[in-house]
Chains A and B, each alone.
Chain A
Amino acid sequence: MKDLPQTVYVVDDDDAVRNSLKLLLKSAGIAAETAASAQEFLSSYDVSAPGCLVLDVRMPGMSGLEMQHELNLRGAMIPVIFITGHGDIPMAVEAMQHGAFDFLQKPFRDQELLDRVQRALARDAESRSRMRHTDRIRERLASLSPREREVLDLVTQGKANKMVAGDLGVSQRTVEIHRAHVMQKMEAGSLAELVRMMMSVAP
């Protein structure tokens, strides 16, 4: 599946800031969209859209921190870069504790923002790639029969075929057949790879 292009969303109630940031991002070849309020952004935002968010802390109506809380409730994984002209330490700490990617005080240099945006976009791409990988493993797991799943759980605990056969009350040959099916369905080249796959989807 082809990835959607990344977009930087700028949410700020100040027209001048929105327009200048949009121009700056476009000049760096980065697609940008703007919204004048948290409500405007949230009404059209699709949590599956890749990119990052440049978010003003203080806005009329819903503040940037409140919007971050709302995004967390929606399960959005988009990296958030806060910008503010009136930042203080408790505000920055709260934003970071709730998962902000960065917190930048105005005025800032253009390059400073671009660097952080690039890092945020890289983080977003990495997170989405990791998520797609774990989704694929979960799909493969779902394709296993209940018996194959039991065999998988026991072999990834380090048990030899003979022990698995004893635990399940079946012959060693039956375990070998199930194990081969597991390796094939999980597309694993080795037991070590299978263990890594299970670790990557562990809760």
Chain B
Amino acid sequence: MAGSDDNGNGVSADRGLVRVRTIIVAGQSSRRTREVLNALSGFNNVIWPKSLESALEQARSADAGCLVIADDLREEPVDEFLQEARELHRNLPIFVITDPDDVAEAVSAMRHGATAVIEIPPSYSTLREEVTRAMQ
């Protein structure tokens, strides 16, 4: 029987093939997006698409491990982007990064399909833990 295992870094071996699930980071070129990318630098499969269309296309892919919405998005509000991503991929873990104490934004993101909302700062460890769990 073909086995499958996962090293917790989004790499799974299945029928002898190695499949790398990607962590998609969506966000404009801001300090916070770069901080999120730095926080995820321990993962070797992080992609930062250059456009929202591309991020959504990647989210549609079977190899998408999770989507991190790191920052405000230029073209459309986060909630709309989130809803669109959720419609495209119902089971994809989606994490939204918010400013500390912005409870209203966090609640809105959860209502629009976020798996979890993580406030940054104070800690990136929660983000790494959530992403690791999602990739497993």
Contact of B100 with A by CB under 8 A:
yes
Contact of B101 with A by CB under 8 A:
yes
Contact with B along A77-105 (1 / 0, CB 8 A): 00000000001110011001100001101
In the complex, the answer to whether A89 meets B111 with C-beta atoms within 8 Å is no
Assembled-state Cα–Cα distance A105/B102 (Å): 11
Contact of B46 with A by CB under 8 A:
no
In the complex, the answer to whether B101 meets A93 with C-beta atoms within 8 Å is no
Contact of B85 with A by CB under 8 A:
no
Given the known interface contacts A89-B119, A97-B116, the answer about A105 and B110 at a Cβ–Cβ threshold of 8 Å is no
In the complex, the answer to whether B106 meets A89 with C-beta atoms within 8 Å is yes
Contact of B88 with A by CB under 8 A:
no
- Total interface residues on B, CB under 8 Å, equals 14
| B interface: dominant SS | mixed
In the complex, the answer to whether B104 meets A89 with C-beta atoms within 8 Å is no
- Total interface residues on A, CB under 8 Å, equals 10
Q: Which of B103-125 contact A (CB under 8 A)?
A: 103-104, 106-107, 110-111, 116-119
In the complex, the answer to whether A102 meets B101 with C-beta atoms within 8 Å is no
Contact of B98 with A by CB under 8 A:
yes
Given the known interface contacts A92-B110, A97-B110, the answer about A103 and B116 at a Cβ–Cβ threshold of 8 Å is no
Q: Which residues of A contact B110 (CB under 8 A)?
A: 92-93, 96-97
In the complex, the answer to whether B107 meets A102 with C-beta atoms within 8 Å is yes
Assembled-state Cα–Cα distance A78/B7 (Å): 41
| Cross-interface CB contact of A96 among B100, B101, B107, B118, cutoff 8 Å | B107
In the complex, the answer to whether B104 meets A105 with C-beta atoms within 8 Å is yes
In angstroms, how far is the closest chain B Cβ from the Cβ of A86?
Answer: 10
Q: Which residues of A contact B98 (CB under 8 A)?
A: 89
Assembled-state Cα–Cα distance A88/B118 (Å): 11
Assembled-state Cα–Cα distance A151/B102 (Å): 56
In the complex, the answer to whether A93 meets B117 with C-beta atoms within 8 Å is yes
Assembled-state Cα–Cα distance A88/B99 (Å): 11
Assembled-state Cα–Cα distance A87/B100 (Å): 12
Nearest 3 pairs between A and B by C-beta?
Answer: A96-B110, A89-B106, A103-B107
